[in-house]
Structure 1
Amino acid sequence: MLKHRHGGDIYSTAYRIDYSANINPLGTPARVTEAAQKSILECAHYPDVECRALKSAIAEKEHIKSESVLCGNGAAELIFAIVQAEKPKKALLLAPGFAEYEQALRSQGCEVAFYQLKKENGFQYETAYWDHLTEDLDMIFLCNPNNPTGLLIPREEILKILQICQEKQIRVVLDSCFIDFLEEKEDADYTGYLQEFPCLFILKAFTKIYAMAGLRLGYGMSSDTDLLLRMKEVIQPWSVSIPAQAAGIAALKEETFVEQSRDLVQKERRWLKKNLEDLHLWVCDSKANYLFFQGPEDLAQRAKEEGILIRDCSNYHGLTRGFYRIAVRTEEENKELIRVFQKILKQAERRN
């Protein structure tokens, strides 16, 4: 029985700061919310079912043809759509990893195999993964940087995986939803390889970097236009609303905002990591806008009592109680988080 628990559940409990969802701490850009609000005046009409203006803006940003883009109601809809379109019989997932991959695969009766990353290796990617790319696989999912660890798979490894999967006709779903927060975004950008590897499907979303989680907007890219057509056939019409399309077009123009967000996140992530380590907590060497660490098994509950929500990662495959993920937020908020953690850990010491 799968447990689909996520971060960002702010509706079931009182809280002061939400560290459980990896959303841009600067919030939604003003011009994005203005575009969404203005578009409400058009809501007597159906949305453009083809998302033409949005796809054109995405294609220009990604330097690809608009025919290679498919928009959806968040990245989650596209994860389920590619599984419904492909109907894989067997798939391989890295663990720990995002739960929706497994949920989508099992919903179609797919056999799911796992390659378990190890704490003793810092949850880093291992080249032994190649040996698991067997002829009986139909699909693999890779998240880069990975969720929840925030680690990157080296470029030479990704390219080797793509070569193997192209030869063995294995579909590669590469989740790139967090790359805009990376210090060197180019380290994880593979849109330039779409033509070379038709097996590749790249997934991105407006959710995190533009803080548009409530608007639900994601997109996928592939040079396999037949795949995109089959995915479109399993997605309900008009799944991307008029406000979401308008907000997406406006968001793609926010280059300065993205740069400011990236700079803030990188600076604050380094500060947070050091201060967590100063509390004698084991912390993964994340490159993204969140940190994965190990602490007391009751830390999430104790933090919630202080009004701080953090992501309990015990429902990730291969993880146990005591593993957590926190977002990187503003300087003031991060200082408050560390203050709360210090208080909790000192109380735990006194009890022991």
Structure 2
Amino acid sequence: MANLHIHGGDVYRYPHMLDFSANCNPYGMPEGVKKAAKEAVEKADCYPDVECTALRKALSLKEQVPMEQIICGNGAADLIFGLVLALKPKKALLPAPSFAEYEQALQASGCEIRHFFLREEEEFVPGQDFIEEITEDTDMVFFCNPNNPTGVLKDLDYIKKIAEKCRQCGTFLVLDECFVDFTEQPENYTMKPFLDEYSNLFLVKAFTKKYAMAGLRLGYGFCSNTEVLEHMHRVMQPWNVSVVAQAAGEAALKEKDYAEETLKKIQIEKEILLKGLKARGLRIYGSKANYIFFQGPENLREDGLKQGISIRDCSNYVGLGEGYYRVAVRTKEENKKLLDALDAIQRQSGKEEGLWQKQL
């Protein structure tokens, strides 16, 4: 059976590798979250709160979004599938490359998918031509900002133009902001302040990356159209957010110092890693979040595994071919190991250091 769920973070098939393939906070799950999760196990003999009341109340205070406009799920993917199942779009527009779950959810509902292929010669940056592709027969548009895997970040003026075109065409816009907190000044890029203005907008977020909680599975979404949220509740399975995940989420929202300190460290280390990758002749694109997207030699992932390093081969993304990769920004020591591994690969290939760019 073919595995459709090919992502980074496969520590089960590659247990002894230093993992740069998943974009989680490299400083690990906060201790307060671990403690809350352990304590919640004692309550796991009961069903979880089907309405996630305490968690949604905490999210409302933290995100400054009305509680009734918040929905929680078993990771962001759960909400994406639930939203598609609720709205049942017939035709959808997707930029490519982008997060694979959008297409999987749409395919599962029998939706016709139209791809807008982002061009390498334009640095994979969408422009006005993407907005023009939104037509009256487009039921749903997915847009990830910053995009995964490219890390391309568009400003609010551009996102609002997409939202406005969608409103004019009667199109529902799903905006994925799962990585916006890793950008500099994220408050300048989020569409949260405009939720009431656009009833055709759904924002996707998650605890996964920021708090290193991938295994606990906890995502959330914002939408001012409460009818949409009610419809999602009707089609999604009940008790989809466990007792442990809800408790962990509440605890994570209290980790203000952890979030501020680690996000600041990641920004510093990203600049150092970017400089190191460029010095080794690798072509960088976007990369405005906590990961770096680049073009390099084929077989780089396999060569990296031989060095004990796991990176994300992006060739399975729609719109990409061989030779595109993504690496997470990790700690200073770990990032140095990645750069040292790249140097070793270059030496073994018989090429002088820094000459990869000339081969691309």
- Compared CA separation, residues 98 and 205, structure 1 to 2 (3 A): same
The whole-number CA distance in structure 1 between the counterparts of 2:182 and 2:239 is 30
Q: 1:337 corresponds to which residue?
A: 338
1:254 aligns with 2:255: yes
Q: 1:114 corresponds to which residue?
A: 115
TM-score, L = length of structure 2: 0.95
Q: 2:92 corresponds to which residue?
A: 91
The answer as to whether partners of 2:97 and 2:320 remain within 8 angstroms in 1 is yes
TM-score, L = length of structure 1: 0.98
Q: 2:286 corresponds to which residue?
A: 285
- Count of residue correspondences: 352
The whole-number CA distance in structure 2 between the counterparts of 1:125 and 1:255 is 34
Which secondary structure state, in structure 1, belongs to the residue aligned with residue 320 of structure 2?
Answer: coil
* Larger displacement relative to structure 2 (154-163 or 72-81): 154-163
Q: What do residues 105-141 of structure 1 show as CA deviations (whole Å, max 9, x unaligned)?
A: 0111101111111111111121111210111000000
Which secondary structure state, in structure 2, belongs to the residue aligned with residue 214 of structure 1?
Answer: helix
The whole-number CA distance in structure 2 between the counterparts of 1:2 and 1:96 is 19
The answer as to whether partners of 1:166 and 1:199 remain within 8 angstroms in 2 is yes
The answer as to whether partners of 1:183 and 1:262 remain within 8 angstroms in 2 is no
Offset, 1:239: 0.8
The whole-number CA distance in structure 1 between the counterparts of 2:286 and 2:241 is 36
Q: 1:184 corresponds to which residue?
A: 185
1:245 aligns with 2:235: no
* Larger displacement relative to structure 2 (197-206 or 184-193): 184-193
* Larger displacement relative to structure 2 (161-170 or 287-296): 161-170
The answer as to whether partners of 1:181 and 1:261 remain within 8 angstroms in 2 is no
The whole-number CA distance in structure 1 between the counterparts of 2:180 and 2:255 is 16
* Larger displacement relative to structure 2 (11-20 or 206-215): 11-20
Matches within 5 A, 1:124-273: 124-273=125-274
The whole-number CA distance in structure 2 between the counterparts of 1:270 and 1:69 is 34
The answer as to whether partners of 1:95 and 1:114 remain within 8 angstroms in 2 is yes
Matches within 5 A, 1:1-40: 3-40=4-41
Offset, 1:3: 4.2
The whole-number CA distance in structure 2 between the counterparts of 1:94 and 1:271 is 30
Offset, 1:15: 2.5
Q: What do residues 220-272 of structure 1 show as CA deviations (whole Å, max 9, x unaligned)?
A: 11000000011111111111001100000010111111111211111111111
Partner AA of 1:221 in structure 2: F
Q: What do residues 127-170 of structure 1 show as CA deviations (whole Å, max 9, x unaligned)?
A: 11121011100000011110001111121111111111112111
Q: 1:348 corresponds to which residue?
A: 349
Runs of 4+ in 1 over 2 A off after TM superposition: 1-4, 13-16, 349-352
Q: What do residues 281-322 of structure 1 show as CA deviations (whole Å, max 9, x unaligned)?
A: 101131100000011111000101111110000010110111
Identical positions, percent: 50
- Compared CA separation, residues 115 and 50, structure 1 to 2 (3 A): same
Which secondary structure state, in structure 2, belongs to the residue aligned with residue 338 of structure 1?
Answer: helix
Partner AA of 2:94 in structure 1: L
The whole-number CA distance in structure 2 between the counterparts of 1:345 and 1:121 is 28
The answer as to whether partners of 1:15 and 1:309 remain within 8 angstroms in 2 is no
The whole-number CA distance in structure 1 between the counterparts of 2:215 and 2:104 is 21
Partner AA of 1:252 in structure 2: L
* Larger displacement relative to structure 2 (88-97 or 4-13): 4-13
Q: 2:355 corresponds to which residue?
A: none
Which secondary structure state, in structure 1, belongs to the residue aligned with residue 214 of structure 2?
Answer: coil
- Alpha-carbon RMSD across the aligned residues, in angstroms, is 1.4
The whole-number CA distance in structure 1 between the counterparts of 2:3 and 2:190 is 31
Partner AA of 2:267 in structure 1: Q
Which secondary structure state, in structure 2, belongs to the residue aligned with residue 82 of structure 1?
Answer: helix
Offset, 1:350: 5.0
Which secondary structure state, in structure 2, belongs to the residue aligned with residue 42 of structure 1?
Answer: coil
Q: 1:51 corresponds to which residue?
A: 52
The whole-number CA distance in structure 1 between the counterparts of 2:253 and 2:265 is 19
Partner AA of 1:301 in structure 2: E
Offset, 1:61: 1.2
The whole-number CA distance in structure 2 between the counterparts of 1:204 and 1:344 is 37
The whole-number CA distance in structure 1 between the counterparts of 2:189 and 2:3 is 30
* Larger displacement relative to structure 2 (63-72 or 327-336): 63-72
The answer as to whether partners of 1:32 and 1:247 remain within 8 angstroms in 2 is yes
Q: 2:101 corresponds to which residue?
A: 100
The whole-number CA distance in structure 2 between the counterparts of 1:148 and 1:189 is 19
Which secondary structure state, in structure 1, belongs to the residue aligned with residue 94 of structure 2?
Answer: strand
The answer as to whether partners of 2:56 and 2:72 remain within 8 angstroms in 1 is yes
Which structure 1 segments of 5+ residues have no match? Answer: none
The answer as to whether partners of 2:20 and 2:327 remain within 8 angstroms in 1 is yes
The whole-number CA distance in structure 2 between the counterparts of 1:130 and 1:216 is 32
